[in-house]
Amino acid sequence: MALESTLELENNDGRAKSDANLLVAEGNTAGDDDGTKGKVIESVEMTFKDTMIPSWKGQLTLRAFVVSAILGVMFSFIVMKLNLTTGIIPSLNVAAGLLGFFFVKTWTKVLERCGILKHPFTRQENTVIQTCVVATSGIAYSGGFGSYLYGMSDAIASQSSDSDSPTRDMNIKNPSLGWIIAFLFTVSFIGLCSVVPLRKIMIIKFKLIYPSGTATAHLINSFHTTQGAKLAKQQVSALGKFFSLSFLWSFFQWFFVSNEDDCGFQNFPTFGLKAYHNMFYFDFSTMYVGVGMICPYIINVSLLLGAILSWGIMWPLIETQEGNWYKAGLGPSSFHGIQGYRVFLAIAIILGDGLYNFRQSTYNYRNRVVLSAKKQRIKSRSTGSCHRWCEARSYIF
């Protein structure tokens, strides 16, 4: 059945063979676990084969931009919180697509019950929402709001050990809405100009599969099917439960936090006061727990190992050399003191591993190029000898 449907689409509709291959899954049969053994399951692509693609005005709708603005602000707060604390930002594509589907689907259902719904919610609108939300939160991370934009301000410069330098005023740029907007426009459009040629090379020419984009596309497609809508409803329900628990726990923590005394749930001495002075304490923040659940276990284990080696062993040993290895009396944030050891030792480890990976990738790429060139030469030689043998054979006979 799958082969007949594929041939019919190819001959009658004139579809390309690459599109037909996506429809082969139409003939897959279900197993025993879903109670539909022997039944033909229609693929997601076949579900939308007769659906007309709306025009650009039907895709860039007002409701899509309103939902994008709401979710973009919420996700930007989350990204800024993580950017200023852990520095690890998980991918938010799935969450943006799921919440965008939930909000607009609820919107359209209310309008449908009131009898004033004009246009149904489409996959294209869902993609616009997901793209806008991820772009907004991406700018909050890559725009430098957690690093260099505020690092150039007068408030940060006054905390530096070179705050009394005569060239201090030359190195200060206080944040201002005007130049920040112009800077972000420049950075964003430069990225856009570089993405277009990379898309032509990587996706169109080499036909490479973009993993996160492909997964998000399949996810959004599944949302707009009957079975996928039910699953999305269950996912949003579970998301709402854990969101409520996290919100109530954070609200409860607010009553037991003291920024002046550094005590409470945000600075809980889990391993004792000695470990607390070496920055080993529990924060009880559900956000960090969620980030740890998203990140692969190898990253979590590596971060824990790095924390134990640095804050548990190296920094306390280096602090005992105060007055010998660096001047005594320097603040903990001075780059001429303990902070210099912390930053530059970590950067040296990161750069060393990065250089090794770069050389390894370059070596592997060079080997693949040489091997491909050898295969091409062997192929051309065999083709040339075959042509000469065919010419001699035709001349003899």
pLDDT the model gives residue 285: 80
| Nearest Cα residue to 90 out of 261, 287, 229, 246 | 287
CA 165, CA 160: separation in Å to the nearest integer?
10
pLDDT, residue 244, reads 87
d(CA 366, CA 355): 16
DSSP-assigned letter for residue 13: S
Residue 140: CB atoms within 10 A of its CB come to: 22
DSSP-assigned letter for residue 88: -
pLDDT for the residue 21: 43
SS3 29: strand
* 45: nearest Cα among 278, 173, 218, 208: 218
Per-residue pLDDT of the chain (397 residues; tens, 9 = 90+): 333 333 333 334 434 343 444 334 434 444 444 444 445 455 666 677 777 788 888 888 888 898 889 988 988 888 888 888 777 777 777 788 888 888 888 888 888 888 777 778 888 888 888 888 888 888 888 888 877 888 788 877 777 666 666 767 777 888 888 888 888 888 877 777 777 777 777 777 777 777 667 777 777 877 777 777 788 788 878 888 888 888 888 888 887 776 665 667 777 777 777 777 777 777 778 888 888 888 888 888 988 899 889 888 888 888 888 888 888 888 777 778 888 888 889 899 989 988 998 898 888 888 888 888 888 777 777 665 555 555 544 545 5
CA distance 194 to 191: 5
Residues 6+ apart with CB under 8 A from 30: 36, 37, 38, 39, 41
How much is the pLDDT for 175?
A: 84
Helix (H) or strand (E) holding 264: strand 263-264
283: tokens are 């924060």
For the chain, the maximum distance between any two Cα atoms, rounded to a whole number of angstroms, is 102
- Token pair listed for 296: 């692969």
Q: Which pLDDT value is given to residue 186?
A: 83
The pTM for the full model equals: 0.64
CA separation for the pair 143, 83 (Å, rounded) = 11
Going from N- to C-terminal start, the domains of the chain cover: 2-47, 56-266
Is 341:303 a contact under the CB 8 Å cutoff?
no
Encoding tokens for residue 68? 């994008």
What pLDDT shows up at residue 183?
A: 87
- Please give the Cα distance from 21 to 6 (Å, whole number): 8
Q: What pLDDT score was predicted for residue 384?
A: 58
For the stretch 236-243, contacts whose Cβ atoms lie closer than 8 Å and that sit 24 or more positions apart, written own/partner, are 236/98, 236/99, 236/102, 239/98, 239/99
Distance between CA atoms of residues 114 and 99, nearest Å = 23
Nearest to 289 by CA among 32, 64, 90, 7: 90
Whole-number pLDDT of residue 261:
58
pLDDT (0 to 100) of residue 9: 37
93-114 vs 226-253: helix axis angle to the nearest 10? 110
